[in-house]
Structure 1
Amino acid sequence: MGLSSALATAMSGLRANQAALSIVSSNIANAQTPGYVSQSVNQVEVSSGGIGSSVLVTGVNRELDTFVQSQLRTETAGGAYADQMSNILGQLQSVYGTPGGTGTLETALSNFTSALQAISTSSGSSSSQSVALAAAQTLAQQLNTTTQGIQALRSNVNQDIGNCVSQANAAMTTIANINTQLQGLSATDPAAATLEDQRDSAINTLSSLMDIRTVAGSSGDVNVYTNSGVQLVGDGLASTISFNSPGSLTANSLYSTNPAQSGVGSLTIQLPNGASTDMVATNAIGSGQIAADLTLRDQTLVQAQSQVDQLAATLSSSLSDTTTAGTAVTGPPAGFSVDTSNVVPGNTINLTYTPAGSSTQQQISIVNVADSSVLPLPNAPNANPKVIGVNLSNGMSSVVSQLNAALGGTGIQFSNPSGNTLSVVGFASATVSAVSTTTTASSLQDGSAALPLFTDGSASYTGAITASGSEMTGYAGRINVNPALLSNPSALSIYSTSPQTAAGDTTRSDYLFSQLTNATFSYSPQTGLGSAASPFTGTVTNYLQQFISQQGNAATQATQLQQGQDVVVSTLQQKFNSTAGVNIDTEMSNLIALQNAYAANAHVMSVVQSMMNSLLQAQL
C-alpha cells in the first residue's frame, strides 16, 4: 500500500469515527428523552483491488424491533381502554356509596320501609306518618342524586371523546406531515431518523386513543388504518375526525344510528378521498380510550341508569298499582273477561295461557299505548312475557281487531261482549289460565290500600310509552313524593273517607310495608339482570342488592383487567426498550472503542507524515 493510500484510509477512518462519535454523543444526550430510538452509524467497507482501502459512512440506522413495536401499540390501545373503564366504574361506585353507609340507596330504602312499619306499630300516629314521609323524600332525593351522578359521568366521558378527537387529529396531521418530509430524504439520513422518532411518537399517541395498524410505504412513509380498515393517514394526507357534542347529557340523551334522533352527538371521519363515515354506527373503533368512552356512554352507564330507573319505577308501581283478576267465562270455549275502564296508558292486561300441544305456560302483557306512532312494540326473541301494544282510546272494536290479528296464531280469541269489557277465550285446544288488569291508583283515598306515594311530578307513574320513549327512562331523576300526600300525611293510614277509615286501622301501612318487603316483581332485561326469556324476579330489596352487587363486581373486574393489561404493556415496553432504548454502558464502551480507533487512525497519519518527511530529506 502506498503512502497516499494509507493516508486516505486513515482520513476516511477519522471521518467515520467523527460521525460515529456524533451518534454516540446524541444517544447519550437523549438517553432519557421519551420516544428517542437508539441510533448507530451505517458503515460500508470500500475495496480497491480486492483489498479494503477505506470506510464510507452511508447514514444512520435506528435500532428497534418493529414486531415488538407493533405488539406494543396493540396492547397500548387495550391498556388505555382498560384504564378508562376502571377509572369510570370506580367513580360509579362512589356515586352508589359504601354499602350500608349513610347517603346510599340501600340505607334510604331500609329507613323508608322501617318507617312504614312504624306507622302500623303506632296505629297511624301523626308523628310516625311525618317520619315516613321524610324517609320517602330522602329515598326519592337519593334516587335523584344517583341519576345526577350517573349522567355527570356520561357527560364527562362524552367530553373526553371530544378531547381525544382533538389529540387524534393532531397526531394524524403530524404523521402525514412527516411522511411528506421523509419523501425527500434517504432512509439512512440522520435527519430522517429524528423525523421517524417524531412520527413514531405521534403513532404511539394515536394507538392509545384507538386500535390501529401501520403499513410501511415505498418511500419512507407510513399509512395508518384502524383495525376495522378505516384509513387514518395515507398518500401524504390525514383523515379528519369530527365530534359534535350536545354538551351535558341527561338520561334521555341516548345514541341513535339516525343522526337526527341521536342525543349524544355524532362521531364521523372524513377520509383523504373525501368520503365520510359514522365511526360509531360502523364500529370503526374497537379499542383505545375513545372506544372505552363510547362503551361507557352508550352501554355501561346507560344500563346503570336503567337499573335505578327500574328501581324508581318498581317503588312507585308496587305501592300504587292494583291487579284485578278477570271474571271466568263459562265455555266452551272457556276463558275470562276483564273491565278495561281504568286501564290508563302504561297499564296492562295480563294474560297467561298454554298453547296447543305444549305443557308450558306463556305470558302476554297487553300494554295500553295512547301514541299509536310507536306501535307495534318491539319484543326480544323468546320474550316472556311477550309485550303487545294497543291503543284503547281507539275503541274496543279496534282493540279486539288488533289483538286477534297479533295473537291469532296462538289459539286465543278476543271479543267485546259489551261496554269496555274484553273477553279472552281459548280455542283450538289453547287453554287460557288467567286474565287480569293492572291499574294505577290516582286518588289518595279511593277505598283501596294502594297509594300513589311516589309520582312523576304531580302525576301518577304508569310507565306510559310515547314517541319520546318510555316514562321509565330517567324516572329516577324525576321521582318525588306525591305533593298531595305531603299536604295530607294522614292518607298514609286513612284510605277511605266514605266510609271513614277507622282509627287505628293499619290496612294501608301494612300493605305498603308488605309490598316493599315481601312482594316479588319482574324486572326488565335492560337492567342487565336476567334475560328476555327469563327476567329477574325478586323483592325491591333483592333487586337493589342484586344490581349494586353486579356493579361492584364489574368495577372489581375492570380493575383486575387494568392491572393485568398494565403488566402486559410494561413487559412489552421493557422488551422494546431493550433494543430501542439507549444503554449507557454500551454507549460508553462504544465511545472507548471509537477513541482507540481515532487514536489508531491518527497514529497512521502521523507515521505517514514522518515517512514522507524522511523521503523528502533523503532526496535532498
Structure 2
Amino acid sequence: MSLNALNTATAGLQVTQAAIGLVSQNVANAGTAGYVKRTLTPVSTLGNSGVATGAIGRTLDAVSLKQLRLETAGAAYTGLSAKVQGQLDALYGTPGTASALDGVMNAFTQSLQALATDPTSAASRASAVSAARTVATTVSGIAQGVQDLRSGLESQLGSEVSSASTLLARVAALNGKIAGASKTEPATADLLDQRDQAINTLSQYLDVTVREQSDGSVSLLTASGATLVDHGAAASLAFDGRGALTAQAQYTGDAKTRGVGTVTATTPAGARIDLVATGAIRSGSIAAAVSLRDDTLVQAQRQLDDLAGGLSRALSDRPAAGTAASANGLSGFDIDLTGLQAGNAVTLGVRNAAGVGRNLILMPTNGAAPDPIDPGLTDDPTALVVPVDISGGPATFAARIGEVLGTGFAVSGVPGGAAGAVRILSDPAALALTGASASVTVPASAADTKAGSGQLALFVDAGTGGGVFTGSFEGGSHLTGFAQRLAVNPAVAADTATMVDYAASTASGDTARPRALADALTSRTLTFSAASGIGGVSAPRAATVVGFTQAVIDARGAASAEARQLDEGQQIALSSAQSRFGKESGVSVDEEMSKLIQLQTAYGANARVLTAARDMLDTLLRI
C-alpha cells in the first residue's frame, strides 16, 4: 500500500510541477503578441492508481480567431483607403483659401470680370493671364499628385505581395513541422502559435479562409476559392510592378495592354492565377491598394481631365444646337457643323419604336482614331459611338455622316446653308431623332487669336506642342492625362492684348471678349462625362466650369470624410474582436495567480503523502 501511495504521490508531484511550469510560462508571455494561453490536461494511469502528464493544449476560441482575422483584413483595407483619400483631399487644398482649387478658379473668373470693367488696362490683361497660368499650374499639379499616389501604391503592392508570399511559405513550413509533432510536446503549442501569428499577419495583406486538416495542418484559400497553402505546399505570389505610373497606365485584363502591375499566384503544380482579374482578393491592404490605384485615383484623374477639357473648350468652342427640320415625311434636325474638328463630338438623341431612348455620338476623326472608340472615354458611357472621317473637309460632312448612319437616316446638306451645315432626318415611327448638339472648336490653331469675340484658345495642350484641345482621339484619347498637360497659350502669354482684341479692328475699350470669356466659365452650361462620377454612375453632369469645379471639390471632401468614418467604425470592430479574442484565449495574470495557489496546495499535499509513505517504510524496516 505504501508503495502505491509513494508512486501516486510522485506522479502527482510531477504533474503539479509541470502545471506550475506552464503557469509560469503563461504569466511570462502575458504581453507577447500571438501567444495563446496554455493548459495541461492530466490523464489517469492504468488502474486509476495515479496520474500522468497529458497533452498541453491551447485555450483557443476558433470563432473569435476567425472574426479577428476578418476584422484585421477589413481594418487594413479601410485604414489604407482613409489614408490615401486624405492625401488626395489635401492635394486640392483647403476649400475657400486662395491656393486651393476653388480659390484659384474664383480668382481667375474675377480677373476676367475686372478686365471686362477696364479692358484698356495692361495690368488687368497681365493679371488675367497670370491667373489663368495659376489655374493651369494648380490643376496640373493636383493631377501629377494623383499619379504620384498611384505610383506609391504600385510600389507598396510590390513590397506587400512579397511579404505575403513569404508568409505563405512560412505557414506551409510550419504545417510540415506540426503534422509530424507530438501533441504532448510544449514545442508543438509554440509552433501552433507561430502559425496562427503568421496567418494573422497575412490577414493584414489579404483575406484568407482557413481550413483545418486532420493531421493538424491547415489549408489557406482566397475568398474566391483559390488554394494558397495545402499542407506543406504553398503558392508563390509575384507582382510585376511598372514603376512610375502615368494617366494612360491603367489596368486591363490583357497583359499586352495592361499599364500597371498585377498579383499572380503560381501554384506548386505550376498553374498561374491572376488574383486581380479573378477578384480573388477582396479585403486587406493589397485589395485596398488595387482599388485605390485602379478605381478611386483613376476617377480622380478623370475628374481633373474633364475639368481641364471643360476649362479649355468653354473658352474656345461655340455651341451648335440642332433646329427642327422635316422633309418627305421624315423629321429631324439641321445643325451647323462649320469648323468641326477631330474630337468635336456630335450627339444625336434617338428613340426607337418601343420608346427606349439612347444617345448616338458621331465622333469626327482624321482617320487615326481607334475603331471602335470606347464610350467610357466620352461624356456618355451608355452611348453608341460611331467614328466619322472628316478629313475631306466640310463639303464631305453630310456624305460621311450618311455613310456611318446607314439606312433609316436621310443625311444631306442644309438647303441654302453653309458647306458644313448638315440635315439629319429619320422616320419618327421607326427611329425618332430627339435632339442634335455639338461643341465646335473655333480656333484652328493656338496662334489663331482672332477667331471671334467669344472664342479664344487661352488654354492649350502642352503635350501636343501647344495645340488647341478639341477632345480628339487621333492616336488615342487626348482627354486622358490632359490635366497634367494643361497650359496657357504661349501666343496669349506673349501678347496679353489678345485677351481683348478679337479682330484686326477691335476698339481699345471693347469689352466683348472679356465678358464672353467670363460668361463662358460662370454661365455657359457644359456636359461633363459620367465617368467622372460627379453626375452619377451613368449620368453625364450638366454644369458650368465653375460649378463643376465646386462639385469636384465637394465630391472629394465627401469621399474623404466617408472613408475616414468607415475606418473609424472598422477600427472599433477590430478592437472589439481583439478584446474578445484576448478574453477567451489571452492570459489573465490574476487567473494564473489563483491557479498557482491551487497548484502549490496540491504540490504540498502530494509532498505530505510522499513524506508519510517514507515514514511508513522507515517504520516497517525497523520492525
Identity across matched positions, percent: 37
What residue in structure 2 maps to residue 22 of structure 1?
21
What residue in structure 2 maps to residue 475 of structure 1?
482
Shift of 1:362: 6.1
What residue in structure 2 maps to residue 459 of structure 1?
467
> Which residue of the other structure, out of 535, 538, 541, is the alignment partner of 2:540?
535
What residue in structure 2 maps to residue 125 of structure 1?
121
What residue in structure 1 maps to residue 236 of structure 2?
240
Q: Describe the shift of the 1:233–1:326 C-alpha distance in structure 2 as closer, same or farther (beyond 3 A).
A: closer
- Which secondary structure does the structure 2 equivalent of 1:560 belong to? helix
How many pairs align? Answer: 609
Matched, 1:572 2:577: yes
**Conserved? CA contact 1:396–1:416, under 8 Å:** no
Q: Give TM-score, length-normalised by structure 2.
A: 0.92
Q: Distance in 2 between matches of 1:399 and 1:549?
A: 41
**Conserved? CA contact 1:375–1:390, under 8 Å:** no
Shift of 1:357: 7.4
**Conserved? CA contact 2:111–2:127, under 8 Å:** yes
Shift of 1:580: 1.1
How big is each residue's C-alpha offset from its partner over 1:11-65, in whole Å with a ceiling of 9 and x where there is no partner? 11111112111111111111111110010112112242xxx31101122010110
Q: Distance in 2 between matches of 1:47 and 1:373?
A: 88
**Conserved? CA contact 1:371–1:465, under 8 Å:** no
What residue in structure 2 maps to residue 490 of structure 1?
497
Q: Distance in 2 between matches of 1:492 and 1:398?
A: 34
Shift of 1:373: 5.7
> Which residue of the other structure, out of 577, 588, 607, is the alignment partner of 1:583?
588
Q: Which amino acid aligns with 1:439?
A: V
**Conserved? CA contact 1:242–1:267, under 8 Å:** yes
Which one is further off, 290-299 or 75-84? 75-84
Q: Describe the shift of the 1:353–1:174 C-alpha distance in structure 2 as closer, same or farther (beyond 3 A).
A: closer
What residue in structure 1 maps to residue 86 of structure 2?
90
Q: Distance in 2 between matches of 1:22 and 1:357?
A: 82
How big is each residue's C-alpha offset from its partner over 1:158-202, in whole Å with a ceiling of 9 and x where there is no partner? 111112112201211111111111122123321110011000000
Structure 2 spans left out of the alignment, 5+ residues: none
How big is each residue's C-alpha offset from its partner over 1:76-110, in whole Å with a ceiling of 9 and x where there is no partner? 11111111111111111111111001311100100
Q: Distance in 1 between matches of 2:349 and 2:617?
A: 115
Shift of 1:379: 3.9
Q: How does 1:360-399 map to 2 (within 5 A)?
A: 363-371=359-367, 374-379=370-375, 386-393=384-391
- Which secondary structure does the structure 2 equivalent of 1:512 belong to? helix
Matched, 1:282 2:289: no
Q: How does 1:418-457 map to 2 (within 5 A)?
A: 422-427=422-427, 429=429, 435=436, 437-440=438-441, 441=443, 442=445, 443-457=448-462
Q: Distance in 1 between matches of 2:411 and 2:552?
A: 39
What residue in structure 2 maps to residue 321 of structure 1?
317
Q: Distance in 2 between matches of 1:146 and 1:382?
A: 25
> Which residue of the other structure, out of 517, 523, 530, is the alignment partner of 2:522?
517
Q: Distance in 2 between matches of 1:71 and 1:6?
A: 49
- Which secondary structure does the structure 2 equivalent of 1:423 belong to? strand
Q: Which amino acid aligns with 1:390?
A: V
- Which secondary structure does the structure 1 equivalent of 2:257 belong to? coil
Q: Describe the shift of the 1:357–1:154 C-alpha distance in structure 2 as closer, same or farther (beyond 3 A).
A: closer
Shift of 1:232: 1.2
- Which secondary structure does the structure 2 equivalent of 1:585 belong to? helix
Q: Distance in 1 between matches of 2:73 and 2:155?
A: 19
> Which residue of the other structure, out of 50, 56, 61, is the alignment partner of 1:60?
56
**Conserved? CA contact 1:259–1:266, under 8 Å:** no
Shift of 1:463: 0.9
- Which secondary structure does the structure 2 equivalent of 1:228 belong to? coil
Q: Distance in 1 between matches of 2:380 and 2:500?
A: 43
Q: Distance in 1 between matches of 2:434 and 2:613?
A: 115
Q: Describe the shift of the 1:516–1:3 C-alpha distance in structure 2 as closer, same or farther (beyond 3 A).
A: same
RMSD: 2.5
Q: Describe the shift of the 1:41–1:122 C-alpha distance in structure 2 as closer, same or farther (beyond 3 A).
A: same
Q: Distance in 2 between matches of 1:496 and 1:420?
A: 23
**Conserved? CA contact 1:372–1:391, under 8 Å:** no
Q: How does 1:63-82 map to 2 (within 5 A)?
A: 63-82=59-78
- Which secondary structure does the structure 2 equivalent of 1:273 belong to? coil
Q: Distance in 2 between matches of 1:532 and 1:416?
A: 37
- Which secondary structure does the structure 2 equivalent of 1:223 belong to? strand
What residue in structure 1 maps to residue 95 of structure 2?
99
Matched, 1:299 2:289: no
Q: Distance in 1 between matches of 2:399 and 2:274?
A: 42
**Conserved? CA contact 2:36–2:585, under 8 Å:** yes
Q: Describe the shift of the 1:612–1:246 C-alpha distance in structure 2 as closer, same or farther (beyond 3 A).
A: same
What residue in structure 2 maps to residue 342 of structure 1?
339
- Which secondary structure does the structure 2 equivalent of 1:58 belong to? strand
- Which secondary structure does the structure 2 equivalent of 1:393 belong to? coil
Shift of 1:322: 1.4
> Which residue of the other structure, out of 403, 410, 413, is the alignment partner of 1:413?
410
What residue in structure 2 maps to residue 46 of structure 1?
45
Which one is further off, 74-83 or 433-442? 433-442
